[in-house]
Chain A
Amino acid sequence: MKQPAPDIAPLLEVDNVTIRYETATQEVIAAEDVSFSVYPSDRFVLLGPSGCGKSTLLKSIGGYIAPSEGEIRLGGKRIREPGPDRVFVFQEFDQLLPWMTVSENLCFALSNGKRCSSQKEAREIAERYLQKVNLWKFRNAYPHTLSGGMKQRAAIARGLAMQPSILLMDEPFAALDALTRQQMQDELLALWEETKFTVIFVTHSIDEGIVLGSRILILTPHPGRVRAELNAHELDRSQAVAPLFANTRDRIYSMLFDTKLNAGAAS
């Protein structure tokens, strides 16, 4: 089952990770024995239905939740706590701190995450990245005056400005309307073309996964186990009607929802 590893070293290794947590009445297994590797410049998609533990896995990579078993390594070093080398972009619009302007939010991240030597440098970096996401005009606006799409764009600018080893995106477009969502996907891909940053993108939309991802990890529902890893680097929106796109979508769909197949894979 193991993929033949490429010659370059993986950036992130998730090694036999099981995550369990306890509620008042029971112990819940969020993810079971999950292993995968993310290589530099991957657009790595974690795809699965709600409750498959993909967000929990991402939080574990972020350092917020310690795995119950197994370990996660970034550049060979074990992840133990959150840090500015793995910047999160959340689904929630309140990820921008409301008491700071858009530009101050970026500067706050840059100076606390030690990505700049002075306030002046922080401002310069912030403005450069806000220009990239077309928010420069709104740099002095407070987050509550922005639309949902603009807030997510600001959060992406903040994430990229930090130049993290890996960007962790937890369903960042899930709360947006369909039109804005599609626009944001295209913008994200355009930004990726510029610097080829490494990103892990959690989604429960098959189409979003195929359009954005270069590689897709499919997790089974509850508890999350690895079902498959597919390539999607050749598929983008322009091929949305092409047979390969439709074929990939159908394959993923059947893997996610065919319980018989899942049962067969488990045994």
Chain B
Amino acid sequence: MIEARTPVYLQGALVIRPEYEISAQPLPVEGTAAKTLSPLARAVQSAAVRKATILLLIVVAWQLYVTLNHINELVFPSFSETIRALITSVRNGEILSRIWLSLATLLQSYAIGIACAGLLTVFAVRNAFGRDLLSTLTSMFNPLPAIALVPLAMLWFGLSAFSLIFVVAHSVLWAVALNTQSGFMSVSETYRMVGRNYGIKGIPFIYKVLIPAALPSILAGLKIGWAFAWRTLIAAELVFGANQGSGGLGWFIFENSQNLMTANVFAGLLVVMIIGVFVENGIFQVIEKRTIRKWGMQS
């Protein structure tokens, strides 16, 4: 212990306090600073557990409301009736082929929409004319609900799958292009300078620097694009699902409502929701977790 004298003042009078130094001690045993919570406490903390509880409550309330009030199943089927209808249509394969048809149309439109958005944004990155072209087109078409193009699509392409693809791709294109473009614009000057420092320019600059740096916005755009596409597709199928005698999920819902198979209508709506939730929370969240969240680009 080192002792020395330093002056301090106490109520105006000088007092000398000793100095001291404590030699470094090893830290106490690990595990004293943090301890694991009990399973129940952890369950309450988990958002997934809370959400599951809410879902369960909704299902119970639905079932009780319908059965206790003896509501006509043709108007408002109970949860159990809906599930029964769903199982039947899965067993006989009808709903699966409808899902497949919808998803196939959706994926084609999604791919076409993204490809067009990619071309437009690459063009916009390269020069001022491209930038103005993109911003003019997006401000024109982004506010226009894609479903409003259905009459035109029917006039131009008839009741073909291409009409659907045209409408749905349109709903994807502008959301993706807008977000990608704004993502590129907000890429920091430092990233750009670092990229150029190592001799990266032209097209490689786009995929080596701009795209990963703008990935948070691009993913946001893809998510919005997906949501638009899914809603637009189901809506468009309600209008012209009859594509050479077959149609997707939207048509399944429409057809069953015409035949007063209300439980099937509910089953169809349930499937639309489940697929939407699965893609948004399943696929996109996994991508985000493996990319931008792992990289600390989104908290």
Contact = CB atoms under 8 A, between A and B. Distances in A.
A95 B296 contact: no
A108 B200 CA distance: 11
Contacts of A108: 198, 208
B190 A84 contact: no
Given A142-B294, A142-B295, A143-B296, A97 B194 contact: yes
B200 A112 contact: yes
A135 interface: no
Nearest to A64: B193
A98 B297 contact: yes
Interface in A57-71: 62, 64
Interface residues of B, number: 20
Interface string A74-93: 00000001111011101010
B197 A84 contact: yes
Interface string B179-197: 0000000001011011011
Contacts of A97: 191, 194, 209, 212-213
Contacts of A83: 197, 199
Contacts of A112: 198-200, 208
A145 B194 CA distance: 20
Interface string A101-135: 00000001100111000000000000000000000
B103 to A, nearest CB: 30
A2 to B, nearest CB: 32
B222 interface: no
A158 B249 CA distance: 54
Interface string B208-242: 11001101000000000000000000000000000
A144 B295 contact: yes
A88 B197 contact: yes
Name the residue in B188, B198, B208, B294 with the highest tally of chain A Cβ atoms < 10 Å from its Cβ: B198
Nearest to B208: A112
A92 B190 contact: yes
A162 B197 CA distance: 11
Contacts of A99: 212-213, 215, 291, 295, 297
Interface string B245-265: 000000000000000000000
A113 B295 contact: no
Q: Is the interface of B mostly helix, strand, loop or mixed?
A: helix
A187 interface: no
Interface residues of A, number: 26
Contacts of A142: 294-296
Contact of B197 (A62, A98, A143): A62
Interface in B245-299: 291, 294-297
Given A99-B215, A145-B296, A84 B193 contact: no
Contacts of A90: 190, 193-194
Contacts of B196: 64, 81-82
A94 interface: yes
B199 A88 contact: no
Contacts of A94: 188, 190-191
B190 A95 contact: yes
Given A109-B198, A113-B199, A114-B199, A144 B296 contact: yes
30 contacts: A62-B197, A64-B193, A82-B196, A84-B198, A87-B197, A88-B193, A88-B194, A90-B190, A92-B190, A94-B190, A95-B190, A95-B194, A97-B191, A97-B209, A97-B212, A97-B213, A98-B296, A98-B297, A99-B215, A99-B291, A108-B198, A108-B208, A109-B197, A109-B198, A112-B199, A112-B200, A112-B208, A113-B199, A144-B295, A145-B296
Interface of A: 62, 64, 81-84, 86-88, 90, 92, 94-95, 97-99, 108-109, 112-114, 142-145, 162
Interface of B: 188, 190-191, 193-194, 196-200, 208-209, 212-213, 215, 291, 294-297
Given A97-B212, A112-B208, 18 more contacts: A62-B193, A82-B197, A83-B197, A84-B198, A84-B199, A86-B197, A87-B197, A90-B190, A90-B194, A97-B209, A99-B295, A109-B198, A113-B198, A114-B199, A142-B294, A142-B295, A144-B296, A162-B198
